[in-house]
């Protein structure tokens, strides 16, 4: 059984804390949970093990009004703001590899985007990623593109027989804001313009629109309609507050 919940806007620490608690619930209950959300303010997130020392500067990010946090999944730096963001958590099995789960979830997401009018495709291309390049520089295999341009950035983390995959579906191209937080001694590799929902559609879909499209694709594939649950019934506020402190800690965000 799959459950979908649409959350109110939050800052980076709370959003990543909610994703942690979502993962914990999926691990404990065996449910597959989809959380859709957005961002209160522009925020940079770093990949779990990405090296940012000497590339990004916290004082420059602060001066530019950019929130900064290091997420729990891998990948490279990206700017979150005008986007539809998803997180999916669920149990794993012995035969359920990271790649197989990644392909399955991105295929569902591609189907939902096509229902909204976006000609999204799962790419198999794997060009070399320049050293220090941000997330939207090139699509990785399995990510979603439109006419070769990256629309969705996704990453996955596995922990104790459960997975968390989350990703960003761009409404507008805010990625140039990354340059405002770059260290003076560093030059960010160029990023080709990504695809955006605003450039592809006459009407930009909402989180509720995405929830409906995902529900339709899952129902068609499984014969069972996903349930809907309110955010406060899905995740406990106390658990989120505890985890948010981890993502606010500079020792985690700027650890390498």
CATH number at residue 213: 3.30.930.10
- State mean pLDDT over 59-77: 96
- Residue 192: its pLDDT value, please? 87
Q: How many CB atoms lie within 10 A of CB 221?
A: 12
135 a catalytic residue: yes
Residues 214-240 pLDDT 10s: 999 999 999 999 999 999 999 999 999
Is 191 or 220 the better-scoring residue by pLDDT?
Answer: 220
Average of per-residue pLDDT across 202-216: 98
pLDDT at 90 over 80: yes
Mean per-residue pLDDT, 181-208: 94
pLDDT reading at 133 higher than 90: no
Catalytic residue among 135, 145, 181, 235: 135
Q: Count of domains in the chain?
A: 1
Number of other CB atoms surrounding residue 43 within 10 Å: 23
Please report the DSSP string for the chain in residue order.
-EEEEEPPPB-HHHHHHHHHHHHHHHHHH--EEEEEE-BSS-EEEE-TT---TTTB-HHHHHHTT-EEEE-SS-S--EEESSEEEEEEEEE--TT--HHHHHHHHHHHHHHHHHHTT---EE----PPPPTT--GGGSPPTT-EEETTEEEEEEEEEE-SSEEEEEEEEESS--GGGGGGGB-TT--PPP-PPPP-HHHH-SS---HHHHHHHHHHHHHHHHSSPPEE--HHHHS-HHHHHHHHHHHH-HHHHT--
- Residues 106/141, Cβ–Cβ less than 8 Å: no
Look up the domain containing 247 and give its range. Answer: 2-253
Mean per-residue pLDDT, 46-59: 95
Chain mean pLDDT for the chain: 94
Query: Over the stretch 71-87, which tens digit does the pLDDT of each residue have?
Result: 999 999 999 999 999 99
Residue 179 has pLDDT above 80, yes or no: yes
Region 155-162 average pLDDT: 91
pLDDT of residue 94: 73
Residue 126 has pLDDT above 70, yes or no: no
């Amino acid at each position: 059984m799959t459950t979908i919940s649409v959350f109110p806007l939050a800052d980076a620490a709370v959003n990543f804390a909610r994703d942690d608690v979502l993962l914990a619930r999926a691990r404990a209950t065996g449910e597959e949970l989809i959380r859709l959300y957005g961002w209160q303010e522009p925020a940079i997130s770093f990949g779990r093990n990405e090296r940012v020392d000497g590339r990004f500067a916290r004082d420059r990010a602060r001066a530019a009004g950019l929130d900064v946090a290091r997420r729990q999944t891998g990948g490279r730096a990206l700017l979150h703001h005008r986007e539809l963001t998803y997180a999916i958590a669920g149990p794993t099995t012995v035969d359920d590899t990271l790649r197989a789960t990644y392909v399955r979830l991105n295929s569902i997401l591609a189907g939902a985007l096509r229902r909204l009018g976006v000609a999204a495709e799962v790419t198999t291309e794997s060009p070399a990623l320049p050293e220090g390049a941000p997330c939207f520089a090139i699509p990785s295999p399995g990510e979603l593109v439109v006419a070769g341009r990256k629309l969705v950035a996704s990453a996955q983390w596995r922990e104790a027989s459960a997975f968390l995959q989350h990703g960003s579906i761009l409404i507008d191209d805010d990625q140039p804001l990354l340059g405002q937080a770059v260290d003076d001694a560093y030059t960010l590799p160029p990023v080709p313009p990504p695809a955006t929902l605003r450039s592809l559609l006459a009407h930009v879909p909402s989180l509720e629109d995405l929830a409906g499209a995902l529900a339709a694709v899952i129902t068609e594939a499984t014969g069972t309609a996903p349930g809907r649950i309110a955010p406060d019934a899905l995740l406990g506020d106390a658990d989120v507050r505890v985890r948010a402190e981890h993502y606010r800690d500079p020792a985690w965000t700027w650890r390498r």
